[in-house]
Amino acid sequence: MRRWSLLVFPVALLVGACTANPPPSGPSGGGARPPADVPLFGGGYRGSGDQCRRAGESAFTNQFLSDSADLVACPPGTDPRLFAFETGGKEVGRREGWILFTVPRR
């Protein structure tokens, strides 16, 4: 009987941990869709959980593209001053709440 309870207890803890509280979604705009003319690609810009992502080329984003910097789009709710401070980026535009930054490549 004791062996059985030693196996059941860890499994119950794992199941409880998975269903108790979902992880936070990041910036308040987490899950917001970018405008159609701000194509995103790749994973999170600074890490896999980051809501900000690199932006690709479109008629709108062409004006911000550079061969010496990444164009990064962050969803609504992102603190632009914090992002700029952490990455060395510069805000260059906004579209439907999304914020575009150029971040120098190091």
Q: Domains of the chain: which residue ranges?
A: 40-104
Tokens representing 74? 């962050």
In the block, tokens 């690709």 appear at: 56
The pLDDT assigned to 56 comes to 96
Contact 45, 72 (CB under 8 A): yes
Beta strands in the chain (DSSP E): 40-41, 53-55, 69-74, 90-95, 98-104
d(CA 1, CA 61): 65
10 Å Cβ neighbour count for 42? 10
Residue 100's alpha-carbon distances to 5, 10, 13, 19, 104, in angstroms, are 54, 45, 42, 35, 13
Q: What pLDDT is recorded for position 106?
A: 73
* Distance from C-alpha of 30 to C-alpha of 41, rounded to nearest angstrom: 16
Full-model pTM: 0.70
pLDDT of residue 1: 52
Among 47, 43, 31, 35, which residue's Cα sits nearest to residue 93?
35
- 39: tokens are 């194509």
Predicted local distance difference test score (pLDDT) of residue 29: 44
Low-confidence ranges of the chain (pLDDT < 50): 4, 6-29
